Amino acid sequence: MFSTESVLSLDHADIYQGTKLILGDVSFQIHKGDFAYLIGRTGSGKTSLLKTLYADLWLQNGKGFVAGYSLDKLKPRDVPFLRRKIGIVFQDFQLFPDRTVEENLRFVLKATGWKKTNDMNNRIADVLMQVGLGTAQKKMPHQLSGGEQQRVVVARAMLNEPLVLIADEPTGNLDPAVSDQIMKVFQAINNAGTAVLMATHNYDLLNKYPARVLRCQDGQVVELAG
């Protein structure tokens, strides 16, 4: 159904934290419509790898390509534009606690260049529907459960129709039933064509929702046979 267009690739990339090599000679590709898990023990480099993909860590050796941007040729001024093409979801919800759901989302739209109130309202309604929270617009974050807050964060990540969603332990703070809801949201987003790369410790999810698996291990990234 989907093309095999690559939305993200690393080619002989080295991932550093400062001068410390965390992962060496990393090569893999994520295509449009792919779903891939990133697993590995604590400290194995999952977060460092994801940070490199959204240019929070600079790629020093090798080549990287994310949503049309070459990481190895990236200029600091390109970073906000790269991040608009990627949706990023962390474990901690990071919503503004003193603003409604709608205001949280509008903040991002304005910051990324949206101007027209109608367009913004429509987009906010669309992404909230996408995550099953169509009626939560006027709620404050504290009026929502942890799982609902995380769904708002996923909605926020979808505002600019990213080509790829990068999630770092998105279910880390959530109980199993709620983690399942978040996974279902990711699957729906993925089925609609957005690639997903998700770091997780939650092996139950891997069993329940099988997909590609990349593992950080001994300073390398290996793809497990499907």
Ligand X SMILES: Nc1ncnc2c1ncn2[C@@H]1O[C@H](COP(=O)(O)OP(=O)(O)OP(=O)(O)O)[C@@H](O)[C@H]1O
**Binding-site member from 2, 17, 96, 191 for ligand X (CB under 6 A):** 17
Stretch that binds ligand X, among 17-25, 137-145, 159-167, 205-213 (CB under 6 A): 17-25
Minimum Å gap between C-beta 43 and ligand X is 4
Q: Give the separation between CA 15 and CA 21, rounded to whole angstroms.
A: 6
Minimum Å gap between C-beta 161 and ligand X is 27
Q: Report 102-141 residues binding ligand X (CB under 6 A).
A: none
Alpha-carbon 209 to chain mean position: 17
CB closer to ligand X out of 190 and 202: 202
H helices of the chain, where?
46-53, 79-84, 101-111, 117-130, 146-158, 176-191, 203-208
Please report whether residue 19 would count as binding ligand X according to CB under 6 A: no
Minimum Å gap between C-beta 88 and ligand X is 14
Please report whether residue 45 would count as binding ligand X according to CB under 6 A: yes
Please report whether residue 80 would count as binding ligand X according to CB under 6 A: no
Q: Report 158-217 residues binding ligand X (CB under 6 A).
A: 216
**Binding-site member from 22, 59, 136, 196 for ligand X (CB under 6 A):** 22
**Which amino acid, 84?**
R
**Binding-site member from 44, 149, 179, 200 for ligand X (CB under 6 A):** 44
**Which amino acid, 226?**
G
**Binding-site member from 30, 47, 87, 150 for ligand X (CB under 6 A):** 47
Answer yes or no: are the C-beta atoms of 218 and 184 closer than 8 Å.
no
Answer yes or no: are the C-beta atoms of 40 and 158 closer than 8 Å.
no
Q: Give the separation between CA 187 and CA 196, rounded to whole angstroms.
A: 9
Stretch that binds ligand X, among 16-24, 64-72, 81-89, 137-145 (CB under 6 A): 16-24
**Binding-site member from 10, 26, 40, 52 for ligand X (CB under 6 A):** 40
Q: Give the separation between CA 209 and CA 193, rounded to whole angstroms.
A: 17
Q: Give the separation between CA 48 and CA 23, rounded to whole angstroms.
A: 9
Does residue 88 sit in helix, strand or coil? Answer: strand
Binding site for ligand X (CB under 6 A): 17-18, 20, 22, 40, 42-48, 216
